[in-house]
Structures are given as C-alpha cells and as structure tokens.
Chains A and B, each alone.
Chain A
Amino acid sequence: MPGAVPDTFLTRTRFVRVLVILSLLLAAAIIGSALVGSEPISLRHAVFGGAADNLDRLILLRIRLPRVLLAVLVGGALAAAGTTLQALLRNPLADPHMLGVSGGAGVGAAVMLMLAGSGTVASVLAVLAGAFAGALLAMAVVYRLGSVHGRLQPYMFLLAGVVTNAFAGALIMTLNAVADFFQAQGILFWLLGTLQTESYGLVAASAVYLLVGVLWLMRHTRAFNVLTLGEEGASQLGIDVSRTRRSAFVVSSLLVGASVSVSGMIGFVGLIVPHVTRLLIGPDYRLLLPAAVLTGAIFLLLADTVARGAFGDTEIPVGVVTALCGGPFFIYLLRREGGRGVE
C-alpha cells in the first residue's frame, strides 16, 4: 500500500521474517544448550567422530538431546496455552499455572498414575487423558468463578485461579501421602517440574500434541484478535464467539495437559513469554501465537540449561528457575496492568 505507514499492520513479509529469525535463534539455543552439562562434550567429535566408543555422541544423543527437545516442546506448548488464555480472558495476566489449569492437570495426571500405574503405553495415555481432563475441569471452574453476571472480572478470576492452584497442590500432596508407589515419581516432579528424559517416544508424542494444538489454534488467531475487543464486539464482526472460545478452552487444556503429563507443573512460561513477545512484535495473534511458541521454546530451554548447568553438579528443578523469573515479573505486570484490562 503506497503511503501507508510501515509496520502498522501485519504483512506476509514481516510474518515470515519474524518467524525465520526466531527459528534461527531457537536452533542456536538448541545447539548451545546441548553443549552445557556436568560433562563437557565436543560437538565436532560427537557429530563427526567415529562411532566406536564415541562418548560425546552418546551423551549428546542419549542424555542431552531428548531433554533439550522436550524443553523446546513444553516451552512452546505452555507459551501457546498462555497466549491463548490471554485472548480468551482479555487479560495479559492470564497464565495456565497461575490460573490453576496446570494444577488441575497435575491432579488428573496423579490420579491416573495411581489407577493405571506407569511404564505401559496404555498408562501413558491414561495419564495424559487424566491431565487433559483435569486441565479442562480447572479451566471451567476458574472461568465460572471469575465471571460475575456473565462478565469476566480480572481480579475474580485471578483469585479463583490462585485458589484452584493451591487446592490442586493440596490434592497432589494428599495423593502422594496415601499412595506410596507414587513416590517413585517423586512429588517434586509434579510440583516443581522437570524435563529430565531419555525417551524419544515422549519427545515425539509431545511434538505431535504441540503441532496439532498450534495448527488448530492458528485457524482461530484472527478470531482471537477480535475477541480481545470483547464478546459483543467480536460477535458483531462476524465471529462465532462460543465456537472460538470452546476451541481455545479445549486446545489450551490439551497443550497444558500434555505438558504437565510429561514434565510436571512448570509455571510462568505462559505469562512471561506472551508479554515479551508482544513487546517485540506487537499484539496481532496471527504472528503472536507462532512467535510465542518459538520464544517459549527458547525461554524454557534457557531456563532448563540454567537449572542443570548453573550450580555445578547440583541440578535444581526447572520450575524453580521459571518461578524465580516469573514471580517478580508477575508483580511487575500486576502493578502495570492490574488497573487496566477488563473493566
């Protein structure tokens, strides 16, 4: 458009450019993170060295890479869920962990773990289904409690989320106390989150969920844009609000459920990432959503690298790292945004 102010709206060129740049950054982060660990490895030897007794390659492929890829996928999924929830609730303070959705998923996963055990394909599916159902239930509860006369009240839903989250935490503690075999997983796994894995099956399954979820959400990104204007405004611009909302609810529950069932409850990714991404590239959901997936992947990967590399041989849970970043960030956002948002 000749004469139009540049960068005042999303063009195909900008869309591609931003996503390519973020993808390159992610690739660099993946390589960098894979080299960090208690055992120093040489990338050159791991890739080009002989197959026999190649310890570097073994460490890279068996230990580091699955964990790095899981961080990428979980980070992307949590960021996508947070970004979506923020459109749905019209509030930049929404985050799946903060709203108790991760907690709900944690309870659901823990219950299924008690009933179905672990180790078999069926039990993995059962845990995932439990996490999905728990996330969906928590989402419904928070949405219900947070609305007064059908209108979302920002403080109400934040408080409802905090309570749901605390309640879910208590339920997990209780389950942990009554079921001794559950201790095999360790309660810290659920409460603080860890990306420790050596299973490419887990990585592949997570990739499928992320891909399906994000592609599903992408179809609604135009509707999300308009939904930030409120339900009435969106409806008058031709959006089927209840259908969009239902999709957003279900898909973000699926993403959170999948993330929690593979990595426990990792908080604040869905809060920090959409905000920072929005600052960098603007609020248009068509670009914001895929960009937040990439930024979320980079963020969680860096957080996990810090978690396993910053304190020598002692590893701290990745959820601790994200919470240490996320807590102050939330306060900052609350002070800045709390007075605005939904009326």
Chain B
Amino acid sequence: MVSSDAALAVRGVSFGYAAQPVLRDVSCRVGRGEFVGIIGPNGSGKSTLLKLMSGYLSPRAGEVLVDGQPVARYSRAELGRMIGVVPQETVVSFPFTVMEMVLFGRTPHLRGFGFEGPADLAAARRALERTDALDLAGRAITTLSGGERQRVILARALAQEPRMLLLDEPAAFLDIRHAVEMYDLLRDLQAEGLSIVSVLHDLNIAALYCDQLVLLDQGAVAHTGSATQVLTYANLTAVYGTEVYVALNDITGALNVLPLSRAHRERLRAEFSEKTNPATEKSR
C-alpha cells in the first residue's frame, strides 16, 4: 500500500525507556474511511499507541504520519481540526452545560478571546443531533449518566469537524445497549467518510465492527489484518495467555470470542494432549 492513501500511518514507533519500552517498533496504518480496532491484553500499550496517534505523546523512535505528514509537523490547532479524540472517561470538575462542553470542540477553529459565531453553534448543534443529545443541551454535564456523558463527549469530538476519530474504549462504562448504540453511530460516521481508530477490550465488538485489527502484545504488534485473520484461537491463546473459544456467529457472520472457565480449559487441555502428545500449541 502507498502511504499517501493512508489517513494515518504508524512507522516503526517505539515509546518509553529503552530498558523498559512501552511500545517496540510498532507499525500499522489506517486507510481513509476505515474502522481500525486496537486490541490486546492489559498493559500491552493500546492507549499509549492512541496517544501517539493523536500527537499527545512523541515517539522515541519512528514516526506517526497523518495525511502523509509527520504529526510533529502540525500545530496543535491543526491537529485539533483533523483529529477528534474520545477518552475512556472524562472527569469534569466544573458544571459546564452540555452545549458549552460541545462548543469546546470548536476550540481548534478559534483564536484568542472571543465568542463562538453562528458557524460554531451550527456545528455544535449538528454534532448534538448526530449523537441524539440535543435535548441535553441545557443540562449540566455533571448531572448526566455515563451513557449520556459519552454521547456528549463524542459530540464534542464531532464538533471539531475532524476527518478522523480516535477513541479509547468509548463504551467501557456503558451497558450493552448503550455500547451497541455507540458503535452503530461510529459505523454511520464511518459510512460518511470518517476514519476511525478505537482501542477495544471487547473482542466481539472488534470482530463485529472493525475492518482491520491491530493485536498488540507486550508493546509490539503481534498480528494485524481482518478479524478472521487476527482473531484465531492460536493468536488469542498465545497473546492473552488463556484458551478461548472462537466460533462463527450464524447471524452476524462475524467471529465470536468466548471465554472458557478453568474447568473447561483443563478439560480441553486433557482432550488435546490425548490426541496429540506432547502438546506444544499452548506454549508461547
């Protein structure tokens, strides 16, 4: 693939101290209009990779390209107009209204002291409509439920009118309905041309929504590709260090990854070693 058609490219990026690296020689790319999922065990460097992509952190080695240009080449405001970020959780210390919160998304479009113009208000309004949160506009952000708040934060990112969204487990604290609504909305946004990168814990969601997956293991890319290429029993067992059950879902056509309890894992192992001895599959 030529890098010029990539919305974002990570090239040989390392981060952290050489003795204790957080990321080692990570490379991956996000095509225009693609939905890319970053998956991996706790502490594998997923969130760090996202922060490098947004330009908040700078790599020790390698580079991150946004629209073919190194991320360090852009000003903070330029990046804010291209990339919207939705963190896992937003701590709000002061009772800003939802409208004020979403208007913060216009910050990279404004300079110095001043008031938002009609274009800014229109963008904020569109973003609130898009996330079905317009009726919350007058509420204080501190009074919202987790699901409502996450919609507002997404609306803030949309008010930036970015070409790309970076999300860190946007549904981490949401129940299954609100989670699915969030990802459905992301898919709609993707259909409208946004490139989307999301850190995901839920492998089923990853299989269901992502075009490409990046599986991180201890700060390095273990596997990349489509869900069927990445979410295999062998890959997941090796990277997560526990056996899982991988099956094709008849209804969605996507893979399902299901956990196995210790009893199941032991039975599986016993059956496995009966067939092939000695077992080598489960070792890294």
Contact = CB atoms under 8 A, between A and B. Distances in A.
A239 B75 CA distance: 10
Interface of A: 1, 4-5, 7-12, 15, 90-92, 218-219, 221-222, 225-226, 228-230, 232-233, 235-240, 278, 282-284, 286, 340-343
A40 B97 CA distance: 48
A238 B79 contact: yes
Contact of B93 (A90, A232, A239): A90
Interface residues of B, number: 43
B112 A219 contact: yes
Nearest to A154: B93
A235 B112 CA distance: 15
B188 interface: no
B80 A8 contact: no
A5 B99 contact: yes
B139 to A, nearest CB: 9
A226 B112 CA distance: 13
Given A232-B51, A238-B108, A340-B93, A8 B137 contact: yes
Given A237-B105, A240-B76, 16 more contacts: A1-B121, A5-B137, A92-B94, A219-B113, A222-B113, A229-B92, A232-B56, A235-B76, A236-B79, A236-B83, A236-B84, A238-B75, A282-B95, A282-B97, A283-B100, A286-B115
23 contacts: A4-B99, A4-B121, A5-B138, A8-B100, A8-B138, A222-B114, A225-B96, A226-B107, A228-B92, A228-B96, A229-B92, A233-B90, A235-B76, A236-B79, A236-B84, A237-B104, A237-B160, A283-B100, A284-B100, A286-B113, A340-B93, A342-B91, A343-B91
A340 B122 CA distance: 33
B201 interface: no
Contacts of A239: 76, 107
Contacts of B78: 238
Contact of B90 (A4, A91, A229): A229
Contacts of A218: 113
B30 to A, nearest CB: 17
A4 B123 CA distance: 13
A73 to B, nearest CB: 22
A237 B108 contact: yes
B118 A238 contact: no
Given A4-B99, A8-B97, A8-B98, A236 B54 contact: yes
B172 interface: no
Contacts of B51: 232
Contacts of B97: 8-9, 282
Contacts of B105: 237
A210 to B, nearest CB: 18
B80 A237 contact: yes
A17 B83 CA distance: 36
B65 interface: no
B163 interface: no
Contacts of B114: 222
Nearest to A229: B90
Contacts of B99: 4-5, 8-9
B77 interface: yes
A233 B90 CA distance: 9
Nearest to A223: B107
A238 B107 contact: yes
B59 to A, nearest CB: 16
A228 B94 contact: yes
A228 B141 CA distance: 13
A4 B115 contact: no
- Which of A7, A15, A222: most chain B Cβ within 10 A? A222
Contacts of A226: 104, 107
Contacts of A229: 90, 92, 104
Contacts of A10: 100, 115
A122 B179 CA distance: 66
Interface string B60-95: 000000000000000111111101110100111111
A227 to B, nearest CB: 10
B116 interface: yes
A236 B80 contact: yes
Contacts of B92: 228-229
Nearest to A9: B99
Contacts of B160: 237
Contacts of B103: 9
B29 to A, nearest CB: 21
B110 interface: yes
- Which of A8, A225, A237: most chain B Cβ within 10 A? A237
Contacts of A230: 90-91
A226 B76 CA distance: 14
Contacts of B95: 278, 282-283
A158 to B, nearest CB: 14
